Amino acid sequence: GHIVRNWKVRWFVLLQDKLLYYKIEGGKKEPSPKGRILLDGCTITCPCLEYENRPLLIKLKTKTNTDYFLECCSREERDSWALDITGAIHAGHPVQVQELHRMKNSFKLLENISLHHIVERMCDSSTGIKLTRNLQQGNRYKETFTGSAVVDWLISNSFAVSRFEAVTLASMLMEENFIKPVGSRSTEATRYSDLSEQFLDDSTALYMFAESSKKNISSKEELQLNISELSGTIVKQGFLVKQGHKRKNWKVRRFVLRADPAFLHYYDPTKEENRPVGGFSLRGCLVSALEDNGVPAGVKGNVQGNLFKIITKNDIHYYIQASSKAERAQWIEAIKPLT
């Protein structure tokens, strides 16, 4: 409410240029609207984290600087309303509407992303993620946050533009031991789910900062770089998941594919410096997709789906996972001509 700042249930109707809201009496909406929000010149914030105990908010600011806070019943409903309202705001600009729908399902993380910077922002006492006590299965956990709260925070702070993208980023934070799962819901997902489903966008899955999140993690992998390796033209780059050679664990790495000379390097996204932690020449390599039915030979852990393999001319096997079949095909098509 604008005068008395209380919260009341209203029935909303979205039109092309305005959002109407009605009072509900006896389970039915009244015939005339109680009020309206003109969408011309509006800005929308979703998720809106201004109210700590109300995580399902949409904020609308009109061009006359009036703020409206709308609370939904679920994250799915909130995100659906936000997308449709945003589409109505930009209804006169069809290109922008198409871009909004593309962003909803986008997967394009920032190229120079720093996980250290994200964690520093998350730990900030005023603007960071809110820590709460939680009781789960008889265990009391201090200073925890939920998976869905992490996703909301990453989107709200412009580290991601879609929930899928935010989950991928949160998975990177967990893989690199900045955050860790606590409680049965999130730890079971880590043990038994596919790699892409180990971090849960869920309000019952609990996480907390790991001790190492406040320390600089130094990589054990060392690489003697030849300057000529990094002189080639960048053909393709992006985030993929790679199996380690020694511990056989899986970690998110930023891959950069170069031509003339043809090299594939991978970078640790937790590092501030722009220095590869590994790489190899593509001359004489073999690259192929792996079957999606079951865990292929050579792959450790419960990891399957969207995998491909690169075998170097020295018979070193690299196992890599993409986020989708389409992305896997794009990487294979980009690598093959350089082998």
Residue matched to tokens 């594939």: 264
Sequence-distant (≥ 6) Cβ neighbours of residue 59 within 8 angstroms: 44, 45, 46, 48, 50, 67, 68, 69, 70
Helices (H) then strands (E): counts for the chain: 7, 19
What's the confidence (pLDDT) of residue 87? 84
Q: What is the pTM of this model?
A: 0.53
Helix (H) or strand (E) segment spanning residue 170: helix 163-175
What is the Cα–Cα distance from 21 to 339, expressed in whole angstroms?
61
Average pLDDT, the chain: 81
Instruction: Tell me the C-alpha distance between 298 and 312, whole Å.
Output: 15
Q: Which two tokens stand for residue 225?
A: 């770089």
Q: Is residue 232 packed enough to be buried (19+ CB in 10 Å), middle (13-18) or exposed (0-12)?
A: middle
Give 27-80 pLDDT, tens digit per residue: 888 999 999 999 988 988 888 888 877 888 999 999 999 999 999 988 888 888
Between 285 and 4, the higher pLDDT residue: 285
Nearest to 88, CA basis, from 35, 20, 31: 20
Separation in Å, CA 228 to CA 222, 231, 285:
18, 5, 19
Whether 114 shows a pLDDT value over 60: the answer reads: yes
Whole-number pLDDT of residue 296: 73
Supply the pLDDT for residue 24: 87
pLDDT tens for 7-29 read: 989 999 999 889 999 998 888 88
Q: How does residue 194 score in pLDDT terms, banded at 50, 70 and 90?
A: low
Tokens 């409206």 correspond to: 68
* Count of positions (residues) in the chain: 339
Question: DSSP secondary-structure letter at 154?
Answer: H
DSSP codes, 46-107: EEE-SSTT--SEEEEE-TT--EEEEE-SSHHHHHHHHHHHHHHHTTT-HHHHHHHHHHHT--
Sign of CA dihedral 210, 213, 216, 219: positive
- pLDDT > 70? residue 139: no
Distance (Å) of CA 145 to CA 75, 142, 175: 16, 9, 17
Residues 87-98 pLDDT 10s: 888 875 555 555
pLDDT of 219: 38
CATH number of 10-104: 2.30.29.30
CA distance 135 to 222: 43
Report, as an integer, the average pLDDT of 103-116.
Answer: 58
- How many Cβ atoms sit within 10 Å of the Cβ of residue 48? 22
Q: Write the pLDDT tens digit of every residue in 146-176.
A: 999 999 999 888 888 778 888 888 888 887 7
Q: How far apart are CA 113 and CA 271, in angstroms?
A: 9
pLDDT of 19 = 93
| Spans of all domains in the chain | 10-104, 115-219, 227-336
* pLDDT, tens digit, 9 for 90 and up, residues 236-268: 999 998 988 766 788 888 899 999 889 999 988
**Could you say which architecture CATH assigns to the domain 227-336?**
Roll (2.30)
Residue 100 confidence (pLDDT): 55
- Partnered with residue 43 across adjacent β-strands are 61
Phi/psi of residue 96, each to 5°? -65, -35
Contact assessment for residue 287 and residue 309, using Cβ atoms and an 8 Å cutoff: yes
The fold of 115-219 is: Arc Repressor Mutant, subunit A (1.10.10)
Provide the pLDDT confidence category of residue 217 given band limits of 50, 70 and 90.
very low
10-104 matches 115-219 in fold: no
